[in-house]
Amino acid sequence: MTGTWQQPRPMVWLMASLLAIGLWQVWEGSWMYAKAGLAQLLLQRAWSRSLEGYAKPKPWPWADTWPVARLQMPRLSVDLIVLAGAHGRTLAFGPSHVSSSALPGQQGTMMLVGHRDTHFQFLKDLQPGDRLEIVGTDGTIRRYKVTEQQVMDSRQGNIATSDEREELILVTCFPFDAITTGGPLRYVVRAELRETPFKEAAAKPDA
């Protein structure tokens, strides 16, 4: 009598473990993108309160950060709320402002950092001469022109900044398609202020 062949138990456990690991990685990646998107919706509400004059409005009750600016890149349809404090817990929700750098309207370099696989993924598609816009919490718009893009090794020195001219620096990890996180390489985009700051005219009510 011929019995039914069964797959060795160790092989079954191995296949189940690999499947579980794969599902976990898919869920973790999907959750990161969902969290980033949901956070931007909540941050939009906090940003509106900033424009209304509220000081440091929290996007959610337990948040230890708040909107300090809005970053826009028209050509690539980028519109992101920038958060105070370049900490790991803050970067999970949006691009973040380095506290030692200038804020919109202040003289000097404004430096923003973000994750290469979420909010700052668009940096790989920037081109020399592209326009970036920073909106301050007072509603003032500043337009910058991309002048430099380079890869730097964080072990070999700091990113040069200025105390005299208004400029914008965006930083993310490199390469963009790296499988593992971290690493010493940084992708740095430098942009110079090219237009006099202005405020958008308020929409006129319908007659």
| 3 state SS of 178 | coil
The H or E element spanning position 88 is helix 88-91
Which two three-digit tokens encode residue 156? 């070999």
Q: 19 by DSSP, 3-state: which?
A: helix
For every one of its 207 residues, what pLDDT tens digit does the chain have, with 9 covering 90 and above? 555 555 556 555 555 545 555 444 444 445 556 666 677 688 899 999 999 999 999 998 899 999 999 999 999 999 999 999 998 889 988 899 999 999 999 999 999 999 999 899 999 999 999 999 999 999 999 999 999 999 999 989 889 998 888 999 999 999 998 877 778 999 999 999 998 787 865 433 343
Please name each of the domains of the chain with its CATH number. 27-199 (2.40.260.10)
CA atoms within 13 A on the CB side of 193: 20
User: What sign does the dihedral 189-190-194-200 (CA atoms) show?
Assistant: positive
Sign of CA dihedral 193, 196, 202, 207: negative
Reduce the DSSP state of residue 67 to 3 states and report it.
Answer: strand
- Classified as helix, coil or strand, 51 is helix
Which residues partner with 156 through β-bridges? Answer: none
**Tokens for 24?**
């976990």
Whole-number pLDDT of residue 24: 44
Structure confidence at residue 23 (pLDDT): 45
The type of residue at 179 is I
DSSP 121-174: GGGGG--TT-EEEEEETTSEEEEEEEEEEEEEEGGG-PPP--SSS-EEEEEEES
Q: Where are the beta strands (DSSP E) in the chain?
A: 67-73, 78-84, 96-97, 109-113, 131-136, 140-153, 167-173, 185-193, 198-199
Distance (Å, whole) CA 60 – CA 82 = 15
Task: Please state the pTM of the whole predicted model.
Answer: 0.79
